Amino acid sequence: MTNITEIDYQHYLEVKHIVSQFEKLTDIGVALSSEHSATELLEKILVGAISLTNADGGTIYMIQGDEIKIEIIHSGSLGIHLNGSGKNAIDLPTVPLFGADGEPNLKNVVSYSYHKDETINIEDAYNADGFDFRGTKIFDEKNHYHSTSFLTVPLKNHQHETVGMLQLINALDSHTKQVVPFNAIAQRFCESLASQAATVLTKQQLITDLAQMFESMIMLIANALDEKSPYNGGHCRRVPELTMMIADAAHNTDTGYLKDFLLSDADRYELRIAGLLHDCGKITTPEAVVDKSTKLETIFDRIHLIETRFEVLKRDAEIAMLKRQVEALKAGQPLPEDILEFALKSNLDFLAEEFEFIKTCNTGGEFMSDDKLRRLNSLEAITWQLNGEMLPLLSGNELYNLSIVRGTLTDAERKIINNHISVTISMLSAIKWPKHLQNVTQYAGGHHERMDGKGYPNGLTREQLPIQARAMAIADVFEALTASDRPYKPGKKLSEALFILGKMSEEGHIDPDIYDAFIAHDIPKKYAKKFLTAEQIDIE
């Protein structure tokens, strides 16, 4: 009776142990599924496997090309904990998957397990045949250790590809703490954990790959804009960076309106993506409008056509003078040459001055005065001759373009430019964004709105715009003011840009609280040191 009771009790303990291991395996699986850090995930896999099998230590290897690289090493008795980075970086050689002859490397346990696609359970490394344990023995001698039992399990993804190896060393008896072989139950539990771990690793790798592909696609769009317009390309790179600087300034403001505004890492990522895509609609804007550096530029700058007409007028003036001379000579009444030359010079000087004036008008600027407009309109009276037909010196379209009061764009062209934000919103709205990027369209689509509701495309007010969009609006304006790569104007000095931005804050164009944070945290100077020329930085 006593013997049966003892057997039953031992059986009870075994079942209890197995149930305990199942619970532990379940807990480890839950912990793995909730982990987002690749390094922490590998840590949990190894620590979990050591705990399940009561091993003294272990190693996780990852497959990299034709090599097996050590990622993490644990040893309880030696107090060793090494991982792939930082002060605990691993400086150990990789294991080749193939020999110099190109044949599979079957000498090392991990490479053998990889090629044979099976778990390798070794009771005593020092008496194992067929494997090269020289490296292990050198390690043991150096650290006064004795590696005995080994358990090596492949980590497979959903396509049954081996992505890594889990190796455990020296199973310990739970009572005596002596090194023992890994038994069948420990091996089975370890294989089950390896299966879960590989699935989680694969999921995380897929998420990482998708995120990288997504960012690559975004950079593809930015680079396409860069190729489309070298002027816009710099803008698309600088605005996201300046937006993040301004948003961080708002985050670091602990008083007033912005004191409760906080950004997590996920928030920053979402805003950065929005910043990179804020002008993606410009990919549909004609280059002739985006790159219009002068008022008369279409596919080319029509100032050269007007210059040709002026040259024709000069030629005609010289011909007219010569004809007068010839006619006077024929009539026997030659004209004084100095009078003729003076008249010709006066005419040529007038034409030269008027052309220089037209060139000045063509360059665009902040404001064109009424006096200049009147003088420009007076040129309608000047004509030139082509094939016997008298034509106006300036066509109606040329005069219309030259009369642009600010910048180089006509109202129609400005509407085309402004339409890019509607296209941006349309493009971004068509994307099925994941939960953590739900606000990208709202942030990117709001950077041309104004606090007083007079912006575009939707006339939103300050209260209707998230802080992130308002920060991007300031970044967009400040970058545009200071950019030195625009085809139609030089970059403004820092003092000029800040004066204009300050007026815009007062007039309800940009958010005054974010503008104050922008100034208080020295963002203009930090940005200037990185992106502006030395000549532009006129504020210490």
What does the block give as tokens for 298?
């279409």
Banded model confidence at residue 84, pLDDT cuts 50, 70, 90: low
Average pLDDT (322-331) is 83
Strand pairing category for 120-122 and 55-64 = unpaired
Task: Report DSSP state, residue 81.
Answer: E
Report the C-alpha gap between 150 and 73 in whole angstroms.
Answer: 14
- What tokens were used for 424? 């941006």
Q: Mean pLDDT score of the chain, rounded to an integer? A: 86
Report d(CA 405, CA 295) in Å as an integer.
10
- β strands within 94-191, DSSP E: 95-96, 120-122, 150-156, 162-172, 179-180
pLDDT tens digits along 90-134: 777 889 999 999 999 999 999 999 999 999 999 999 998 889 998
Question: Count of alpha carbons within 13 Å of 272, Cβ hemisphere only?
Answer: 14
Q: Which two tokens stand for residue 286?
A: 């004609």
Q: What is the mean pLDDT of residues 404-433?
A: 85
How many angstroms separate the CA atoms of 375 and 24, rounded? 89
Tell me if 50 sits within 8 A of 214, measured CB to CB.
no
Q: How close are the terminal C-alpha atoms of the chain, in Å?
A: 95
Say yes or no to pLDDT of 300 above 50: yes
| pLDDT-derived band at 509, boundaries 50, 70, 90 | very high
Lowest mean pLDDT among 221-230, 244-253, 313-322, 384-393: 221-230
Give DSSP secondary structure letters for 297-314.
BSSSBTHHHHHHHHHHHH
pLDDT at 400 over 50: yes
Across the range 194-214, mean pLDDT stands at 80
**Burial of 346 per CB tally in 10 Å (0-12, 13-18, 19+):** exposed
Q: Taking a C-beta distance cutoff of 8 angstroms, is the pair 226, 235 a contact?
A: no
- Containing 67, the helix (H) or strand (E) segment is strand 67-75
Q: Dump strand ranges (E) for 339-477.
A: 383-386, 389-392
How far apart, in whole angstroms, are the C-alpha atoms of residue 131 and residue 450? 73
Q: Please, what sign has the CA dihedral across residues 372, 373, 376, 381? A: negative
Phi and psi based region of residue 333 (left: phi greater than 0; alpha: psi -120 to 50; beta: remaining): beta
Q: Tokens 């050198």 sit at which residue? A: 138
Per-residue tokens: 127: 């008496």
| Alpha-carbon torsion (483, 489, 490, 493), positive or negative | negative
DSSP 8-state assignment for residue 465:
S
Q: Rounded to the nearest 5 degrees, what angle is found at the Cα of 242, between the Cα atoms of 239 and 245?
A: 150
Q: What is the DSSP string of 312-346?
A: HHHHHHHHHHHHHHHHHHHTT-PPPHHHHHHHHHH
The stretch 367-394 carries a mean pLDDT of 88
Provide the 3-class DSSP secondary structure of residue 172. strand
For residues 193 and 49, is the Cβ–Cβ distance under 8 A? yes
- Please tell me the number of Cα atoms within 13 Å of 519 on its side-chain side: 14
Provide the β-strand partners of residue 386.
389
Helices 467-482 and 265-277: crossing angle in degrees, nearest 10, is 50
Q: What is the arithmetic mean of pLDDT over 413-433?
A: 86
Q: What is the pLDDT of residues 39-64, one digit of tens each?
A: 777 777 888 888 888 999 999 898 99
Asked if 385 and 316 touch (Cβ cutoff 8 Å), the reply is yes
AA identity, residue 370:
D
Collapsing DSSP states into helix, strand and coil, what is residue 49?
A: helix
Each residue of 485-507: pLDDT tens digit?
Answer: 666 677 899 999 999 999 999 99
Q: Are strands 95-96 and 67-75 parallel, antiparallel or unpaired?
A: antiparallel
d(CA 431, CA 425): 10
CA distance linking residue 481 with residue 78, whole number of Å: 62
Separation of CA 18 from chain center: 50
Q: How confident is the model at residue 315 (pLDDT cuts 50, 70, 90)?
A: confident
Q: Which phi and psi angles does 300 have, rounded to 5°?
A: -140, 170
pLDDT band at 1 (very low <50, low <70, confident <90, very high): very low
Tell me which range, 217-221, 304-308, 357-361, is most confidently predicted by mean pLDDT.
357-361
Residues contacting residue 535 through CB under 8 Å, at least 6 positions apart: 493
Indicate whether 291 pLDDT > 60.
yes
Query: In the predicted model, is pLDDT for residue 32 greater than 70?
Result: no
Residue 312 amino acid letter? V
